[in-house]
Structure 1
Amino acid sequence: MYLHLGQSVVVPFRDIIGIFDMDNTTSSHLTRRFLAQAEREGRVVDVSGDLPKSFALCRAREGPAVVYLSQLSAATLRGRVESGTFE
């Protein structure tokens, strides 16, 4: 199964490490530092098209994990994973 993150980007369920709410998680300096480092390393893919509401941390085929910024809420993405819905 696959999860649609936005703007025609889908990732396999098995590659998802975690789905996080931007408002709740970016209040931590550790998360902000992690996201800044991922951005510097070119591991952030913005599929939000606007202000992101969530981000998904996903395994990459090779190398470190990739961060996908999504306009969909974390609750919506989690619901899709739990229900097996991929659209």
Structure 2
Amino acid sequence: MYVHLGGERIVRASELVAIFDVSIEQSSRISRQFTACASKRKNVEVIGEEEPKSIVITTQKVYYSPISSSTLKKRTHQLPDV
């Protein structure tokens, strides 16, 4: 199954590692370090031109999504168990 992250970006649900509210970057030094490292490796993608509301971590990339973390989490819970 797939999860729509916003814009035209869709990822496999099996590749999802975590979904966080974007505010975690301001409150957590470790989160800032993680996203900075991913950015240096060019493994970060900002989806769309809207202000990011969530950070989605997959096995391949880190995405800044314009969709709220709560909405993305609801989408993952609606997936059928296979």
Could you tell me how far apart the structure 2 residues matched to 1:84 and 1:48 are? Answer: 24
Could you tell me how far apart the structure 1 residues matched to 2:21 and 2:59 are? Answer: 18
Q: Which amino acid aligns with 2:22?
A: M
Shift of 1:78: 0.2
**Matched position secondary structure for 2:63:** strand
Identity of aligned residues (%): 33
1:51 matches 2:46: no
The answer for the alignment partner of 2:22 in structure 1 is 22
- Structure 1 segments of 4+ aligned residues over 4 angstroms from their partners: none
Shift of 1:37: 1.1
Could you tell me how far apart the structure 2 residues matched to 1:4 and 1:16 are? Answer: 12
Could you tell me how far apart the structure 1 residues matched to 2:48 and 2:38 are? Answer: 17
**Matched position secondary structure for 1:72:** coil
The runs of 5 or more residues in structure 1 that have no matched partner are: 61-65
The answer for the alignment partner of 1:75 in structure 2 is 70
**Matched position secondary structure for 1:77:** helix
CA RMSD of aligned residues (A): 1.3
Q: Which amino acid aligns with 1:74?
A: S
The answer for the alignment partner of 1:12 in structure 2 is 12
Q: Which amino acid aligns with 1:69?
A: Y
Shift of 1:48: 3.8
- The number of residue pairs the alignment matches comes to 79
**Matched position secondary structure for 1:37:** helix
Could you tell me how far apart the structure 1 residues matched to 2:8 and 2:48 are? Answer: 11
The runs of 5 or more residues in structure 2 that have no matched partner are: none
Could you tell me how far apart the structure 1 residues matched to 2:18 and 2:56 are? Answer: 6
Query: What TM-score do the two structures reach when normalised by structure 2?
Result: 0.89
